[in-house]
Structure 1
Amino acid sequence: MNLQEKLKELRQKIEEKSNSIKTSNAEFREMLEKANSEEELTAAKDKRSEIEKVEGEVRKLEEEADLIQVAIDGDDNSKPAGSRNKDNQEASYRDAVNAYIHSRGRVRDGLNFEKTNVGDFVMLNKRDIDPGTDGVKKPDVQPTIADEVSYQPQRELQTIVDLKQFVNVFQAQHGKGTYPILKNATSTMATVAELEKNPAMAKPDFDGVDWAVDTYRQALPISQESLDDSEIDLMPVIEQNGQQIKVNTTNAAIAGVIKTFAAKTVGTIDDLKHIINVDLDPAYDRVMIVSQTFYNWLDTVKDGNGRYLLQDSILTPSGKVLLGMPVAVVADTDLGKANEAHAFIGDIKRSVLFANRADFMVRWVDNEIYGQYLQAGMRFGVAKADTKAGYFLTYTEPAEK
């Protein structure tokens, strides 16, 4: 067997073992994914050891093939120099460069080197090389360039404030009903002389708020193949998305009630102070739920000394206060349209009644589709409670004086 035949046989062995490594790697990954016990994990480790052993055999075969290739290239370059013409000399030099590369720098015969401060480099004739056409560019080696893929999704940033935390939530036991709201007492005691009969005390006055529960639900089929083959645990991602949809649903219902309160237009902080000091009864608590555009106006307002009125606070859930009131920010579209400045100001717990009947997230296997269903659902009702407890504001930039 000559060198050419031996080299061909080695290349064939290398290819066969490389293909077996690919198959074994796929089996190893499947074993690792399905390993649920110590024995199965040990079997996967043994499989990996077998793969590493074959990889070592491939490396040895490649080194042997490189040595044979060097020997073959050396035979091609052993012709007498005097019998070569100019073309043969250039071909010989290319062969010498090829032998140098394949031997990883061990074979240096027939080459000219240039010494530099960072090492020795093979000298090539660059006069006939056009970098624009002969150079290697990224498209030329595109099959060897891997695209990095991240399998961990990042949720898009969005303003999501759960408005349910601000309103009056109670656990409903039926599908509809009436919730009593005690009105503020306005009467006073009468002056009574000694030993006179006590006058009758004013009776408590109640308002009945009618509420009714609606059902909100949806389901999403997920194939078992997508759950099995995904690089991440897919179900928690889908469940998290379902939870966000539920918050969006309750927010939309609460915002729909907020927008029905008495409307007022403000253009200055003085207009806002008039609502706080005069229009709202002092007995009511004060909270502001503002859109992004309304918040932008509040964030730019200064007092007479040039200090911003909107302040940081660690005592409020939102972290911001204005004139002593907690401020919560929602998206413009929650209270209106994009770039519209709206807000609710007042006692939101007395303003909005939230009857919570049921809240569930269910998943089950369906044999017909070979997959799972994720169902999210809620049963709740939202009603307007105390009509005097708040106002729906719209900011309008005042005309220049």
Structure 2
Amino acid sequence: MTKELRALLHKLEKAKEEVRGFLAEDKTTEAKEKMDEVRTLQTKVDLQRELEENEVRSLGGRELNDDGKVEERDMQELEKEYTGIVLRALRRRPISEEMRSVIREYEKRAVMNEGETNPAIPDGDVGIVVPQDIQTRINTLMRDWNDLSQYVTVENVTALSGSRVLETDADMTPFADVDEYGVIQATDNPKFTPISYKVKKRAGYLPLTNELLADNDANLIGYVTNWIARKAAHTRNTHILALLNTLTPKALADLKAINTVLNVDLDPAISRSAILLTNQDGFNWLDNQVDGNGRPILMDDFTQPGRKLFKGRPIAVVSNRNLPSSGTNAPLFIGNLKQFMVLFNRRFFELASTREGGDAWRRDTTELRTIMRDDYVQWDGASTVYGQLDITPTP
């Protein structure tokens, strides 16, 4: 941002403050006259910003400093400044025009405006995407909460709807034998499956007490990121499990039945990359199985302490509360979940806050709203088997 634009923004904010002062004193005539100056200054700001953006584009995306010279702005510095503005907005403090320019610059450079946020945010309001440094913390926490999206194919998209064409694992015919100087014939074509998606908006709100908002930035960020991570992981897990439950269940009486799924029901390429997804009951049954010499069937995964392997395949465990058993049958999904489904994720969480809406006004709190957008689409149904494992205790 050049010094010319910064000076114009300062004049614009000062003129707006004068208009607000006239309105507070019920001086509508003076307010109207001052608004003419505000409109003129706003026009100058827009033209100056457009001029600088054109110059930036002509310089390959590099910024201009106060003297109008080329400057490569430090992204970490911009990230820190943007994060401060987000926290300021969550606390319902006014956002100046200069701060809005930082928001626009950050979203253009860092997230390419994928959150489709509105740059004309009212004072004290916020409807902007979560900063990337906080995004990273959220994603890390989601893994800690056993986010099942780590086991499926995730594709980040920027459009609300669209389609993808994915190759199908179909039967192939071998290349034909050709004599010397013989004519090479056409071979069979790859098989593709079109997949359409339409992202859906999923949201929730969290009341923030004034005590929490008055706390330091680190505590506020920690509280908010933890809440978003838990809600996002649970939301994703719910939809992933709902899609898995659409498969036709197959009874699995014992370990031999599980072996048959891996050896026969699944394609060898799928079987080699398969995982076993079950609940606490299913994992407990598997963890108590031993071979003829009394050695546990499950092996420790030395690359990830605490995780178990069944014949080299990792086991993912979901709580009984989120994936319940049915009587003496525990769910056991076996296969390559990355081939089974695609999670179309419209990247980045979006935040907004209010002190006036909902119960916030009556409770003297601030409500934080979080929005995420995604869709869950089945790809290859043959890549996963839905087993119902018989966990009846043996006498």
> Could you state the TM-score of these two structures normalised by the residue count of structure 2?
0.56
RMSD: 2.8
2:235 is matched with 249
The alpha-carbon distance between structure 1 residues 161 and 225, as it changes in their structure 2 partners (threshold 3 A), is closer
Tell me whether 1:374 sits opposite 2:368 in the alignment.
yes
Deviations 1:272-307 (A, max 9, x none): 111100110112121111111000111011122221
**C-alpha separation between the residues in 2 aligned to 1:200 and 1:317?**
51
Where does 1:1-400 land on structure 2 (aligned, <5 Å)?
160-184=145-169, 185-225=171-211, 227-228=213-214, 233=219, 236-284=222-270, 285-316=273-304, 319-337=307-325, 341-362=330-351, 364=353, 366=355, 369=361, 371-397=365-391
Query: Matched residue of 1:334: which SS?
Result: coil
The alpha-carbon distance between structure 1 residues 387 and 226, as it changes in their structure 2 partners (threshold 3 A), is closer
Amino acid across the alignment from 2:380: D
TM-superposed CA distance for 1:217, in Å, is 0.6
Query: Matched residue of 1:283: which SS?
Result: helix
The alpha-carbon distance between structure 1 residues 258 and 321, as it changes in their structure 2 partners (threshold 3 A), is same
Paired-residue identity, %: 26
**C-alpha separation between the residues in 2 aligned to 1:207 and 1:383?**
12
TM-superposed CA distance for 1:176, in Å, is 1.9
Deviations 1:301-360 (A, max 9, x none): 112222111010123586211011111111123333487511111011010110001331
> Could you state the TM-score of these two structures normalised by the residue count of structure 1?
0.55
Asked if the contact 2:282/2:391 (under 8 Å) is kept, the reply is: no
Unaligned stretches of 5+ residues in structure 2:
1-143
* 356-365 or 273-282, which deviates more: 356-365
**C-alpha separation between the residues in 1 aligned to 2:188 and 2:285?**
45
Asked if the contact 1:352/1:384 (under 8 Å) is kept, the reply is: yes
Asked if the contact 2:309/2:315 (under 8 Å) is kept, the reply is: yes
Task: Count how many residue pairs are aligned between Structure 1 and Structure 2.
Answer: 242
Question: Comparing both chains, which one has the higher relative contact order based on Cα–Cα distances under 8 Å and sequence gaps of 6 or more?
Answer: 2
2:99 is matched with none
Amino acid across the alignment from 2:165: P
Deviations 1:188-235 (A, max 9, x none): 1222222211121211110112222110011223242564489x9466
Asked if the contact 2:330/2:391 (under 8 Å) is kept, the reply is: no
TM-superposed CA distance for 1:376, in Å, is 1.4
